[in-house]
Amino acid sequence: MLDGLDPEQREVALALSGPVCVLAGAGTGKTRALTHRIAYGVRAGILQPASVLAVTFTNRAAGEMRGRLRQLGAGGVQARTFHSAALRQLQFFWPKAVGGDLPRLLERKVQLVAEAAARCRVRLDRNELRDVTGEIEWAKVTQTVPADYPAAVAKSARDAPRDPAEIGQIYAMYEQLKRDRSVIDFEDVLLLTVGILQDRHDIADQIRRQYQHFVVDEYQDVSPLQQRLLDLWLGDRDNLCVVGDASQTIYSFTGATPDHLLNFRTRHPDATVVKLVRDYRSTPQVVHLANGLLSQARGRAAEHRLELISQRGPGPEPVYTEYTDEPTEAEGTARRIRDLIAAGVPAGEIAVLYRINAQSEVYEQALADAGVPYQLRGAERFFERQEVREALAALRGAARFGANDSLLDGAEDLPAQTRAVLSGRGWTGEPPAGSGAVRDRWESLAALVRLAEDFARAKPGATLSDLVGELDERAAAQHAPTVQGVTLASLHAAKGLEWDAVFLVGLTEGMMPITYAKTDEQVEEERRLLYVGVTRARLHLTLSWALSRSPGGRASRRPSRFLTGLRPGSGALGSAAAGGSGSIERGGGAAGRRRQRGPVRCRVCGTTLTEAGAMKLMRCEDCPSDMDEGLYERLRDWRSEQARELGQPAYCVFTDKTLMAIAERVPATGGELSSIAGVGARKLDRFGADVLAICAGGEGGAGDDES
């Protein structure tokens, strides 16, 4: 159980009693150290599996931990999120502590917050509604009641989205509506569990007898309410192991604070403290940049930063690229991604990370125009897709009937059995010729096949029943396998993930740090957010920014202050802090040069256009369209046929917006066609003749030989 651990990880695994604090940098194998620690304690007879509660912050992380513990022979250990563990206890003890059934859990509170605001005669638009809901969640995890909310906001120097007194009023009405309808929200799960454990010593004692040993991952993200619950679980004992990194504290807006991690040694003077600094994820070049970024940090978290040491061989230098405008930045990023895929990097091992979700549209357009498949993180949950639910039912049935299932004839190992069962649901050895929903369905089933292959390698001799159990665990934890496609995600959503190649985009003042980060503490959290983004990359790292938002706009933007001293020629640290002697590239190319003529204006009303979709159409979205509907439908039919032949989603040929622009402008020459955003040189060569023929009234052929 200790073989293969480095000296510091081994020290963690052997520290099985008393308080333990593990300060673990990004990519240092903390999950490996934790799971081997628990499994070693179980194998050695020091820990009883049922007496250990491992707590983390996401269902995905909890599912991964459970899977690793099962593989290490410690399957009886509970690994849950704070909310999941508390809800389980609340459901069990509610009849005894309160009586009757536990109130219904409110899955989404936004609708009830909207009703509360309406009753308070306050009108909220969609963004304000989201922000006020976030404020209510912050108040509850910091244990702030509605009457105290305005004072708490003032004390924390928090920027409230509306007048604090008004939000406090909405918060009070929201709580009243919940009571009237006998529902509770996710924060109530923690609050009510805390209340029961405080008031009912017999129940608290029963839980403490059950759980003798606690492990808390991502301890820098603990909120005051979660810490209170943890204290009640522990009682007067100190068998607690916490793991965290103050430099990865990026959720303070939700109430998380690194203070509990930083004060751990004050609260537990006899604690064993271990630092994990050997980075197994990233190359020396990426690690050097990450260290350089934190070397300029200020504040208490910065005082406890960890200097990472890469354990990998050398890789390429980080690339810094400056673009004229945002659409050009997106197109340049898409071209680089296409080149990486052509060089053998799987699309699923590439990510584009941005500060806010609103930045995704221009990258969706650019990737689609470049023919690169992508997936938005936070889209429909994998295990909730209809084809996945049907596949799980089929696998469960095959596992139940075993050798009596004719589908399994001749399928000797687990991957072969899985392929045999899923072939009846639409899986084939090669991707289908179709696109859209057909291709999406196949990708989901292919992800299940890959998962079965990985599971069989990790657990030789595993049966179909074992796989079904693994899938049920993952479905409960929403721990989905990887679907191939470039990941588009916000920096916050990227926490806990990693890729071979990462593109950090939009790194300008006002976006990184974000414009509303005004205090020193808020700015430092933005620096930590960028650090998290940098440390997601294993091998390739590109950092880029645009000097203006829209084509032809004034080049008034400046690169993020966090890059000063890191990007070549930007300060005293120079390229040394970035780990190399590269130079800043000037992005652009043909598309970039084409856009430098001046602002893009609506051809109907003359308004300057800034949104990617509007610039593609050369008109405001709500201005009248003169589109040739018949031409648009012929182009769509042609695109479907091309997508089938290429085995790609339709958007990889042309997006709907590009087809609309073509149908509105009806180009007659290659020059006119290439002037439409989304029709680059590559697509002009491949599809230009067909599109021009269709625009001229022809049917369009099969395109060139490559097509």
- pLDDT at position 81: 92
* Run of H or E residues at 586: strand 585-586
Distant-in-sequence contacts of 593-599, Cβ < 8 A, 24+ apart: 594/675, 595/324, 595/325, 595/327, 595/328, 595/551, 595/552, 596/324, 596/551, 596/552, 597/551, 597/552, 598/551, 598/552, 599/550, 599/551, 599/552, 599/553
Residue 251 DSSP symbol = -
Burial of 572 (0-12, 13-18, 19+ CB in 10 A): exposed
Output the six-digit token pair for 211: 């759980």
- pLDDT at position 368: 79
- pLDDT at position 245: 92
Give the C-alpha separation, 343 to 566, whole Å: 28
Show the beta-strand stretches assigned E in 382-485: none
Longest dimension (CA), the chain: 83
Output the six-digit token pair for 425: 């649901």
Provide Rg for the chain, Cα atoms: 28
**β-bridge mates for residue 504, sequence order:** 353, 543
- Single-letter amino acid, residue 118: A
Q: Is 463 helix (H, G, I), strand (E, B) or coil?
A: coil
Give the C-alpha separation, 695 to 675, whole Å: 15
CA 513 to chain centroid: 19
* Run of H or E residues at 331: helix 326-342
Give the C-alpha separation, 502 to 498, whole Å: 8
Looking from the CA of 200 toward its CB, the CA atoms found within 13 Å total 19
Output the six-digit token pair for 96: 């005894």
Instruction: Say if residues 592 and 548 touch (Cβ distance below 8 Å).
Output: no
Output the six-digit token pair for 521: 């503490």
**β-bridge mates for residue 491, sequence order:** none
Distant-in-sequence contacts of 46-50, Cβ < 8 A, 24+ apart: 46/16, 46/17, 47/16, 47/212, 47/213, 48/212, 49/74, 49/75, 49/76, 49/77, 50/76, 50/77, 50/78, 50/210
- pLDDT at position 112: 92
The CA-based angle 348-351-353, given to 5 degrees, is 155
- pLDDT at position 527: 93
Show Cβ contacts of residue 1 under 8 Å, excluding neighbours closer than 6 positions: 13, 36, 39, 40, 43, 72
Name the residue among 298, 257, 276 with its Cα closest to residue 513: 298
Give the C-alpha separation, 83 to 73, whole Å: 26
Determine phi and psi for 163, rounding to 5 degrees: -55, 125
Q: Tell me whether strands 486-490 and 278-279 are parallel, antiparallel or unpaired.
A: unpaired
- pLDDT at position 358: 66
Question: If you search the block for the tokens 């001293």, which residue do you land on?
Answer: 565
Sign of the dihedral defined by the CA atoms of residues 64, 76, 228, 31, in that order: negative
Q: Tell me whether strands 78-81 and 52-56 are parallel, antiparallel or unpaired.
A: parallel
Instruction: Say if residues 227 and 66 touch (Cβ distance below 8 Å).
Output: no
Instruction: Say if residues 612 and 546 touch (Cβ distance below 8 Å).
Output: no
- Single-letter amino acid, residue 528: R
- Flag residues of the chain having pLDDT under 50: 379-380, 433-436, 572-582, 589-597, 702-707
With residues binned 3-state (H G I as helix, E B as strand, rest as coil), the percentages for the chain, rounded to 5, are: 50, 10, 35
Neighbouring CB atoms inside 10 A of 672's CB total: 15
Please state the length of the chain.
707
- pLDDT at position 593: 38
Instruction: Say if residues 493 and 359 touch (Cβ distance below 8 Å).
Output: no
Show the beta-strand stretches assigned E in 491-536: 499-504
- pLDDT at position 573: 45
Looking from the CA of 358 toward its CB, the CA atoms found within 13 Å total 3
- pLDDT at position 707: 34
Give the C-alpha separation, 259 to 252, whole Å: 11
- pLDDT at position 106: 87
Instruction: Say if residues 350 and 375 touch (Cβ distance below 8 Å).
Output: no
Output the six-digit token pair for 127: 């963004």
Question: If you search the block for the tokens 């799987």, which residue do you land on?
Answer: 346
The whole-model pTM stands at 0.71
Instruction: Say if residues 81 and 56 touch (Cβ distance below 8 Å).
Output: yes
- pLDDT at position 178: 92
Instruction: Say if residues 464 and 407 touch (Cβ distance below 8 Å).
Output: no
Output the six-digit token pair for 168: 């406090």
